[in-house]
Amino acid sequence: MSVTAESVKQLRERTGAGMMECKRALVETGGDLDAAAELMRKQGLAKADKKAARVAAEGVVMVEKAADGRAAAMVEVNCETDFVAREQDFRGFAADVTRAALAARAGSVEAVLAAKLPSGDTADERRRALVAKIGENISVRRVVVVESQGQIGAYLHGGRIGALVAIEGGDAELARDIAMHVAASNPRYLSAAQVPAAEVAKEREILTEQARGDAKNQGKPDNILAKIVEGKVGKALSEITLLGQPFVRDDKQTVEKLLAGAKAKVTAFERFEVGAGIEKRQDDFVAEVMAQVKGASGSKH
């Protein structure tokens, strides 16, 4: 049967769900708004989209490794509160999504949301049902699948920070140690060669200005200042690159030297931290209440 745009609009306003979900429910119920709304509640679709605008900066990072140790998936699933992040239904959903990401080699959020879970639902259908049940915005924020011809190292810290490292050479213990280092030290690049030229130039410009303004460098010729700056640039690059950082379990050697000693090399690494980069809302309840009071008093005039 044909479903009118007006009936879809009414159902959207009533449930807060997406247009396609509303249209599908109306078709299934012969255009009956009440029956469609009830069907959507049963399916966990109603109000899921309305909650999507709310900030979800808590959650969990989970990792799943393949049986042969040569592939692993890492997923960040977010919710609104730390309480829900510890809840078994939420964590079970995150675990199922991570396993589905590995099985499907899903390299994007869209791909993993479309993947089937053991229940037969897609990950997105299960997510919506969980939103309706728990009452918080829940989102699959990030997913990555790392593969290697050698070893995959994985490390999780408290369910909030996760790291995956692909290495060639070495052994499983070395791979895990490097993953632990990535989790702890948060390198942005593998090596200095991978740092964008524009970023290096900007750092050199800042350090040059600092060197010229330093009293102890006054009167030094430009070639000496240039050497001082390059030394500082090298140090700055080592701090943000995996190979240049001192190894967390032995700061007497860099990660590069550790790998060289084991005749191993890192081919890829990934690090997730729950909520990283999400601007959390800081609620000012006093101001919120005052705004409501003023709004209510203003409406009386």
Query: Regarding the domain delimited by 5-46, which CATH topology (the fold level of the hierarchy) does it fall under?
Result: Helicase, Ruva Protein; domain 3 (1.10.8)
Contacts 24+ apart (CB under 8 A), 19-23: 21/45
Domain map of the chain by residue range?
A: 5-46, 53-186+267-273, 196-240
* Tens-digit pLDDT string for the chain (301 aa): 678 888 888 877 666 666 777 888 899 998 888 888 777 766 665 555 555 556 678 999 999 999 999 999 999 999 999 999 999 999 999 999 999 999 999 989 999 999 999 989 999 999 988 988 888 889 999 999 999 999 999 999 999 999 999 999 999 999 999 999 999 999 999 999 999 999 999 999 988 888 888 878 777 888 888 899 899 999 999 999 999 999 999 999 999 999 999 999 999 999 999 988 876 654 444 555 555 555 555 544 4
Interatomic CA distance for residues 271 and 120, integer angstroms: 30
Are domains 5-46 and 53-186+267-273 of this chain identical in fold? no
Task: Show the tokens assigned to 233.
Answer: 């640039």
Q: Which amino acid is at 20?
A: M
Task: Show the tokens assigned to 111.
Answer: 């791909």
Q: Which amino acid is at 81?
A: T
Instruction: State the SS3 of 108-129.
Output: CHHHHHHCECCCCCEHHHHHHH
pLDDT for the residue 22: 84
Tokens 């290096």 appear where? Answer: 200
pLDDT for the residue 166: 97
pLDDT for the residue 221: 85
C-alpha angle 124/125/129, rounded to 5°? 115
Name the CATH superfamily housing domain 53-186+267-273: Elongation factor Ts, dimerisation domain (3.30.479.20)
Interhelix angle 123-134/88-104, rounded to 10 degrees, is 170
Question: What is the CATH code for 196-240?
Answer: 1.10.286
Shortest CA distance to 106 belongs to which of 139, 47, 147? 147
What is the distance in angstroms between the CA of the first residue and the CA of the last residue of the chain?
49
Give the DSSP letter string of the chain.
Answer: ----HHHHHHHHHHH---HHHHHHHHHHTTT-HHHHHHHHHHHT-TTTTGGGGS---EEEEEEEE-TTSSEEEEEEEEES-HHHHT-HHHHHHHHHHHHHHHHHT--SHHHHHHSBPTTSSBHHHHHHHHHHHH-S--EEEEEEEEE-SSEEEEEEETTTEEEEEEEESS-HHHHHHHHHHHHHH--SBSSGGGS-HHHHHHHHHHHHHHHHH-GGGTT--HHHHHHHHHHHHHHHHHHHBTTTSEETTEEEEEHHHHHHHTT-EEEEEEEEETTTT-------HHHHHHHHHHHHHHTT-
Burial of 222 per CB tally in 10 Å (0-12, 13-18, 19+): exposed
Q: What is the pTM of this model?
A: 0.73
Interatomic CA distance for residues 252 and 52, integer angstroms: 47
